[in-house]
Amino acid sequence: MRTLLIRDLMLAVRAGGGFGLGLAFFLIVTVLVPFGVGPQTELLSRIAPGILWIGALLACLLSLDRILALDWEDGSLDLLATAPLPMEGIVTIKALAHWITTGLPLVLAAPVLGVLLSLPIPAYQWVVISLAVGTPALSVIGTFGAALTVGIKRGGLLMSLLVLPLYVPTLIFGAEVARRGAEGLTVQTPLLLLAGISFGVMALLPFASAAVLRINLR
DSSP character for 116?
G
Determine if 85 is a binding residue for another protein (CB under 8 A).
Answer: yes
* Distance of alpha carbon 183 from alpha carbon 162, whole angstroms: 33
CB of 80: closest distance to another protein in angstroms? 7
Determine if 79 is a binding residue for another protein (CB under 8 A).
Answer: yes
Determine if 58 is a binding residue for another protein (CB under 8 A).
Answer: no
Using CB under 8 A, pick the residue from 11, 21, 47, 162 that binds another protein.
11
Using CB under 8 A, pick the residue from 35, 36, 82, 186 that binds another protein.
82
**Between vectors from CA 52 to CA 202 and to CA 100, what angle results, nearest 5°?**
40
Determine if 153 is a binding residue for another protein (CB under 8 A).
Answer: no
Determine if 80 is a binding residue for another protein (CB under 8 A).
Answer: yes
Determine if 81 is a binding residue for another protein (CB under 8 A).
Answer: yes
Determine if 4 is a binding residue for another protein (CB under 8 A).
Answer: yes
Q: Are 60 and 135 in contact (CB under 8 A)?
A: yes
Determine if 14 is a binding residue for another protein (CB under 8 A).
Answer: yes
**Region of residue 119 (phi > 0: left; psi between -120 and 50: alpha; otherwise: beta):** beta
Determine if 17 is a binding residue for another protein (CB under 8 A).
Answer: yes
- Total of residues contacting another protein (CB under 8 A): 23
Nearer to another protein among residue 11 and residue 54 (C-beta):
11
Nearer to another protein among residue 82 and residue 186 (C-beta):
82
Nearer to another protein among residue 45 and residue 76 (C-beta):
76
CB under 8 A: which stretch of 81-89, 94-102, 107-115, 205-213 binds another protein? 81-89
Q: Are 99 and 174 in contact (CB under 8 A)?
A: no
Nearer to another protein among residue 19 and residue 118 (C-beta):
19
Phi, psi of 100 (to 5 degrees): -65, -35
Instruction: Return the number of other C-beta atoms located less than 10 Å from residue 202's C-beta.
Output: 17
Using CB under 8 A, pick the residue from 35, 38, 42, 218 that binds another protein.
218
* Distance of alpha carbon 45 from alpha carbon 116, whole angstroms: 10
Instruction: Return the number of other C-beta atoms located less than 10 Å from residue 27's C-beta.
Output: 18
Compute CA distances 187 → 45, 50, 122, whole Å: 18, 15, 12
The long-range contacts involving 32-39, CB below 8 angstroms and separated by at least 24 positions, are: 33/117, 34/116, 34/117
* Residues making contact with another protein (CB under 8 A): 3-4, 7, 10-11, 14-17, 73-76, 78-85, 217-218
